[in-house]
Amino acid sequence: MDELSRPSATVTTSPKILLRKKPDADLEKEMKKLNEMLKKDFDSTVKKSEEEIDKTFMNFKAKKESPYCLIGYNTAIVLLLLLTINRLFNFQSAAYKRSMIFSWKIAAATLGVGATCLLALFYIRKIRLEEREKHMKYIAGKARIGGDWELVNTEGKPEGSEQLKGNWLLLYFGFTHCPDICPDEIEKMIEVVNILDSKPEKDRIPIKPIFISVDPERDTPARVKEYCAEFSPKLQGYTGTVEQVNKVAKTFRVYHSQGPRTGKDKDDYIVDHTVITYLIDPDGHFHDYYGQNKTAEEIANIIQVKVLKYRAQHRKNILGF
């Protein structure tokens, strides 16, 4: 308002100057005319200034009623909606990208697991084929060694593999007049049986020691019975005719040969024979063999492992694997 007051100052000063030079009537007319002109200019200036002032400034109600204001708000809302859609699209795009990455990770993990399973299956198949091949070789070996046999027991009655099925057997070929090797091997065989019999009931293996004479001329049932009793009541002895003994020895690939008779006594001779102890399974099949180099403890441990494998294979056969 300072600028608007300046013309008034001019009005007050100018008449004073005019009063000194002109008469009163003319002066009043000119003053009146000048004041009207100044008032007119002043009113027009004030009106113009009022028109230039935004009466809706800080008047939100007026702004809402303004069409320009409505256009601005609509534009803002549209822009806000567009921005929201854009952000949602970007979020969904990011989520889609993350889901794609996650999907690829799942796919990669699935492929990895699948490949591992395939490798495991191939490995298991390979092992099974190897086991089957070993089993076939084992069957072939069993076909070459062992089989059904029948001799005479210590009671003079026919008895053989058929009556002994269902038990593990340790079978040794020898003769009752053997000076040292046979007694040592028979004692070792009895020790193996005692070790296995001393196991807990759940781990106990029903095994029988068997002695078969390769000297039928001298080893009668009574003689074999007496001989077996010297070692253990667990030891079962068998003998038979020359034909029977030769047949059984051939079945187990046991070499035996009667030596020369050097003394006056016709029964004074030595029999040379194979020194091997055979392990027969409950089915009556050859399973393993042990020479003189094995101790009783070693043989007992080996038999335990063999029996466990046999039982596992037997369960597989029952289940159809």
Question: What are the per-10-residue average pLDDT scores of the chain (321 residues)?
Answer: 42 42 57 67 57 48 46 59 61 56 68 74 71 56 79 96 95 95 96 93 89 96 97 97 96 90 78 95 93 95 93 76 54
Q: Does the annotation list 273 as a binding residue? A: yes
Structure tokens at 206: 């029903």
In this prediction, residue 71 carries a pLDDT of: 47
In this prediction, residue 170 carries a pLDDT of: 98
Nearest to 193, CA basis, from 142, 229, 231, 151:
231
First to last CA, the chain: 111
In this prediction, residue 320 carries a pLDDT of: 60
Q: Does the annotation list 178 as a binding residue? A: yes
Q: Does the annotation list 256 as a binding residue? A: no
In this prediction, residue 17 carries a pLDDT of: 43
Say what the pTM is: 0.57
In a domain, 191, yes or no: yes
Q: How many other C-beta atoms are found inside a 10 Å radius of the C-beta of residue 288? A: 17
In this prediction, residue 204 carries a pLDDT of: 85
Do 106 and 11 belong together in one domain? Answer: no
In this prediction, residue 234 carries a pLDDT of: 96
**Domain count along the chain:** 3
Do 175 and 250 belong together in one domain? Answer: yes
Nearest to 258, CA basis, from 215, 212, 211:
215
Do 122 and 158 belong together in one domain? Answer: no
How many Å apart are CA 100 and CA 106, to the nearest integer? 10
Contact 7, 44 (CB under 8 A): no
Do 109 and 154 belong together in one domain? Answer: no
Structural domain boundaries, residue 92: 69-141
In this prediction, residue 130 carries a pLDDT of: 67
